[in-house]
Amino acid sequence: MGTAESTVRDDDNRLFRGHSHILDDITHLRSKKIGKIERVADVVIWPGCHGDVVGISTTEHSVLKRYQFDFCSICDPNKLRMIARRLTTANENNRKSSGSIPLKRQELLKWHGWGYKDTKVIVTQRGKLFITSNRYPLVKISQVSLKVREWIQQVWGIDLYEVENIPEPPENPDISNFPDPFLESEFLDGLLTLQIVYSTDGEDRFFRSHGQAMSDIMNARRYQIARLPDLVVWPNSHEDVVKIVDLSNKCNIVIIPFGGGTNVTSAVTCNPNEIRMIVSLDTSQMNQILWLDKRNLTVCVQSGITGRDLEEQLFREGFTTGHDPDSLEFSSVGGWVSTRASGMKKNRYGNIEDLVVHIRFVTAVGVLEKESRGPRISCGIDFNQIILGSEGTLGVITEVCLKVRPLPQLQVYASFVFPDFETGVKFTHDVAMKNIQPASLRLMDNMQFRMGLIMKEEQTFIGEIVDKLKLTALRAIANINEDEMSFAVAVFEGFKDEVAINKVKIEKLVVKYGGVSAGAKNGERGYLLTSTIGYMRDICLNLGMLSDSFETSVPWDRVLQLCKNVKSVVAEESKEKGLKHLSVCCRVTQVYDTGACVYFYFAFNAAGVADALRVYEQIESRARDEAIACGGNISHHHGVGQKRRKWVPRQISPTAVGLYSAIKKTLDPNNVFAVQNIVLPAEITSSKL
């Protein structure tokens, strides 16, 4: 097998890469260049000495060759046989998988922004916007009118008729300067024995080092992420997760659960000061519906299934969960539970806490789950409520049982305009008071309505004339001015008679508040447009603009004051920091009996602004302070993550922080789930119950 110079057994040379890169990919296993010491191998064979490996079959040998496996990495025939079997099994499992998110996310999704690689917004001359795929047909092509062009110039200082050669990040990240992983050989040996697929590839690690907050994306584009996960692991089942967590606990490894990767709170950011090996546990391959109980209207799913995959499979069976967040295409059921998510149609179907029947939760000390699948149980504390909102700090959600409903007989879109935002808020409040909420009801202020016009579909000459006549009629008949009006979108779902009755009630209330119908087409477009907001954020970044959103919930009697005050604070802070071109707008997105969820969108032109990201975060922080001072909270459904944890003690009380810390210490005594979400580590250490 080689000369004395090529095959050695001394201890120094045995400190070698070994099998640290066993499973870069279930479809393409690449060997790595030797250079950095990572673990002790059984025997060291220098590259260039490939030959037949004694002790494995021809079939196993061909499997390893097919995946371009470097035989110099491992010389133990038993280990080689195990790798060959695992590669074959993994490939078969992947072919059977119904999930839309591949093991290698970078094959489908962007590393530098939101969504699919084949989908982005392109601006051409004369203000024409294209979306480069057929995934969103209602917003395929839009034309910025001359009036909207002038408005954009005035507000953001950008002329969309003149932009050209807009810089874009490369399709693939430059991994040449990524730090090498820190690897524990005992943990790697354990994964090999358990036959768990894993990777230490730089792109895999980088892709799971950040979420979708604007700050995450900007730091990713600049390669300014201080610490990457050292390894990515892909379990296929609850049992796999139990084994991984047990092994991590034994080897003192950190686990960061990773679902759809859509969080906007820096919830998967690695602690740069963590001295232990960090593992990103990617649940994307746990994407199956385990069972559907049509009689009891429940479905049990693996936690990594995305909302779209779940809904498409349920649709074929005539059912739906009704949970419809903006991130439906990419977010996972486990992510919904871990952040206490809310959907656009919560009025009819409820928030995630209303849909959850049962959860399987793997902690460092065992599996937490209740035995009963009944509709309700009075048996002390509901431990599902501890899992909901835990954000990866206590364990891994592996399976979730959700309520389902038969598909509605009818779905109808509608839209309405009101003289101003204040009138629109009064309308939504009255809808709640009369308990006549449609499945979804959203209200945009005038600034957001104008922003929506940027993506207005391209019009024919006749269409432009008709639009002008409509605006003239609004001013003359309804006394509604385009520069002040607010815009509402509604979705009705249910039985035909039920929808008809509810729609009539809503339309009567619209008239009461001086509003008029804007049609079903505008309603559908307005509702579905939210799925493209992430792509618009990315084109803004390419144009040199910083933009992001934050949300809160607030009692009805404080909605208008909160909206007014937060906008004022943002304007004042922006002026103080010398910003010249900016916008802040809001919308009411969820309507409750006792209050509403309010979303804010803040954007500014960063040209000439030093340390623009820091400026943005300072202004956003002041805006959150003001929202809380006005009776709001730190989040309605996005969660806490690491971005909002400084407000947690004030929001829930120091006693509650002590209670959380006690739970953390009980379920995770070795701090395996050291993701640092929700509260600062110092608060866990110092808290006393």
Q: Which residues are annotated as a binding site for FAD?
A: 339-342, 391-397
Per this entry, what is the length of the chain?
A: 689
- Tokens for 440? 């979804």
- Tokens for 365? 């000390």
Q: Which residues are annotated as a binding site?
A: 339-342, 391-397, 537
User: Do 274 and 227 touch, CB atoms closer than 8 A?
Assistant: yes
526 vs 451, 474, 541, 574, 601, CA distance in Å?
A: 12, 19, 23, 29, 16
Q: How does 106-141 read in b/e, with b if 16+ C-beta sit within 10 Å?
A: beebbbbbbbebebbbebeeebebebeeebbebbee
161 vs 119, 208, 459, 538, 539, CA distance in Å?
A: 22, 37, 17, 19, 15
3-state helix, strand, coil in the chain (%, to 5): 40, 20, 40
Listed residue (309, 217, 296) closest to 541, CA to CA: 217
Q: Which residues are annotated as a binding site for substrate?
A: 537
CA dihedral (563, 613, 332, 279) in degrees, to 10, reads -140
Q: Which of 599, 601, 616, 660 is catalytic?
A: 599
Listed residue (228, 452, 212, 217) closest to 330, CA to CA: 212
3-state secondary structure of 629: helix
8 vs 2, 43, 444, CA distance in Å?
A: 10, 7, 71
3-state secondary structure of 501: helix
**Strands annotated E in 433-475:** 440-444
Listed residue (544, 685, 543) closest to 607, CA to CA: 544
- Tokens for 169? 């990040």
User: Do 120 and 132 touch, CB atoms closer than 8 A?
Assistant: yes
Report the alpha-carbon distance of residue 519 to residue 413 in Å, rounded: 8
User: Do 296 and 280 touch, CB atoms closer than 8 A?
Assistant: no
Which amino acid is residue 623, in one-letter code?
Answer: A
Report the alpha-carbon distance of residue 568 to residue 108 in Å, rounded: 41
506 vs 283, 413, 431, 488, CA distance in Å?
A: 42, 12, 7, 12
Q: Is 599 a catalytic residue?
A: yes
User: Do 51 and 1 touch, CB atoms closer than 8 A?
Assistant: yes
Q: Radius of gyration (Cα) for the chain, nearest Å?
A: 27
3-state secondary structure of 551: strand
Report the alpha-carbon distance of residue 412 to residue 523 in Å, rounded: 9
- Residues taking part in catalysis: 599
